Amino acid sequence: MENLDKCINCHLCRDNCDFLTKYGIDICDTDRLRELAYHCFLCGKCTSVCPVGIDGREIIMEMRRERASSDERTSIEDAYKGLISEKRNYRFRNWKHVTSGSIFFPGCNFPSMYPKTNKMLSKLFADNGIGTVYECCGKPVAELGLAEDEERIINSIREKLREASVTEIVTACPNCRDFFGDRLGVKVRSVYDKLSELGAGKTVKGDIELYLPCPDREKKLWVEELRPFVEGEIRINDSAQCCGLGGSAISCERELADGFVKKLGESIDDHIFTYCASCVGRFRRSGLKPVDHILPFIMGTDEQPDTLKSYLNRVMTKVK
Ligand code: SF4
Ligand code: SF4
């Protein structure tokens, strides 16, 4: 585990995190933190504010991996059996349309929430020789600390890409892109970057307010890549620590997760965009109406998230 001796006990991690505040602990309080490892949203805020470079998120991930490889494994798997049964060996996987060169990888949630826009993107990409692959990147399972499953999923995707001579993955989900990083040996880019290259997509009129999903909050790669599609200014709203879905912590910390949504709701001027379908689903299901995914507006469908039939839409990706 990372050397915590350099911690200067400044409490900045605690002051910036509702979870650490609730339990009155800092990242260096490892005994208590280990007990509470599955209560953390893995949002990375503690990592970004630590003045001495301690990676709190990674420390908690290591704690989860330790616990998931101990005799606690069965109870952990039991607690998250719904997620594991869908994503450990992704049920709705579909590689029928894989193409050599570039593929479109929309992930699990974008096609679930925005089937019409996803269909339009798949058609646009198919017209440009880019096939669509339905697969889970493995992040939700990896975040439970199931390291062997994580390794197996990454190896399996890497092997399929190699067999099909894929050299580039176009992602619609910032979690997929962040999780893959450079682990697959192929270029991983955002859908906005690819749309710019193809000269496709409309411009969203006026200034916008933007909520950044956790994996892009520090690097802001996606913000830069979607900037060409926004006519006016992008105002970043960082009032919520996470949408509440991060790290599957919501099952332990429902109240904190609802508090994040409340904070965002109170801070929105009029309307807010984001670029993560999971975040939109979470906000909309919690009753926060003025939150939209920006991609349907760039594609001109102005599609609203299908929170009622999202599971069915995901099932359908298997037979596309
Ligand atoms: S990763 Fe997020 S929720 Fe977890 S301790 Fe750090 S700031 Fe708090
Ligand atoms: S922010 Fe960093 S240095 Fe400060 S208490 Fe937390 S872990 Fe220690």
Each residue of 126-156: pLDDT tens digit? 999 999 999 999 999 999 999 999 999 999 9
Same domain, 172 and 109: yes
Domain membership of residue 20 (yes or no) is yes
Same domain, 157 and 234: no
In the predicted structure, residue 226 carries a pLDDT above the cut 90? yes
State the Cα–Cα distance between residues 94 and 97, nearest whole angstrom.
8
Q: What is the share, in percent, of the chain residues with pLDDT greater than 70?
A: 99
Domain membership of residue 65 (yes or no) is yes
- Cβ atoms within 10 A of the Cβ of 102, count? 21
What is the pLDDT at residue 304? 96
In the predicted structure, residue 99 carries a pLDDT above the cut 80? yes
What is the pLDDT at residue 39? 98
Each residue of 45-86: pLDDT tens digit? 999 999 999 999 999 999 999 999 999 999 999 999 999 999
Same domain, 156 and 286: no
How many whole angstroms from 18 Cα to the centroid of ligand 1?
A: 8
What is the pLDDT at residue 319? 84
Which whole number is the average pLDDT over 103-108? 97
What is the pLDDT at residue 255? 98
Domain membership of residue 173 (yes or no) is yes
Count how many domains the chain has: 3
Q: Which of 57, 59, 241, 248 to mutate to test the pocket of ligand 1 (most atoms within 8 A of CB)?
A: 57
Which whole number is the average pLDDT over 229-239? 96
Domain membership of residue 95 (yes or no) is no
Domain membership of residue 149 (yes or no) is yes
Q: Which of 6, 26, 55 to mutate to test the pocket of ligand 2 (most atoms within 8 A of CB)?
A: 26
Domain membership of residue 86 (yes or no) is no
State the Cα–Cα distance between residues 128 and 123, nearest whole angstrom.
9
- Cβ atoms within 10 A of the Cβ of 65, count? 18
Nearest to 221, CA basis, from 280, 180, 167: 180
Helical spans, DSSP H, in the chain? 12-15, 18-23, 30-35, 45-49, 56-68, 73-79, 81-87, 109-113, 115-127, 139-142, 147-163, 174-180, 191-198, 221-226, 254-267, 277-285, 294-298, 310-316
In the predicted structure, residue 202 carries a pLDDT above the cut 90? yes
Q: Which are the contacts of 243, defined by CB distance < 8 A and separation ≥ 6? A: 211, 213, 260, 261, 276, 278, 279, 282, 283
- Asked which of 47, 79, 111 is the last residue of a domain, the reply is 79
Domain membership of residue 94 (yes or no) is no
How many whole angstroms from 16 Cα to the centroid of ligand 1?
A: 8
**Average pLDDT score over the chain:** 96
Question: Which domain does 8 fall in, by range?
Answer: 4-79
Same domain, 315 and 178: yes
Nearest CA to ligand 1 atom 4: 40
Lookup: tokens for 168 = 């580039």
Q: What is the share, in percent, of the chain residues with pLDDT greater than 90?
A: 96
Q: Which atom of ligand 2 is nearest to the CA of 9?
A: 5
CA distance between the termini of the chain: 44
Same domain, 109 and 158: yes
Nearest to 241, CA basis, from 221, 222, 217: 217
What is the pLDDT at residue 269? 85
Domain membership of residue 175 (yes or no) is yes
Same domain, 249 and 105: no
Same domain, 74 and 118: no
Each residue of 271-316: pLDDT tens digit? 999 999 999 999 999 999 899 999 999 999 999 999 999 999 999 9
For the domain that residue 241 is a member of, what is the CATH number?
3.40.50
Please state whether 43 falls in left (phi above 0), alpha (psi between -120 and 50) or beta: alpha
What is the pLDDT at residue 289? 80
Q: Which are the contacts of 91, defined by CB distance < 8 A and separation ≥ 6? A: 85, 318
How many whole angstroms from 42 Cα to the centroid of ligand 1?
A: 5
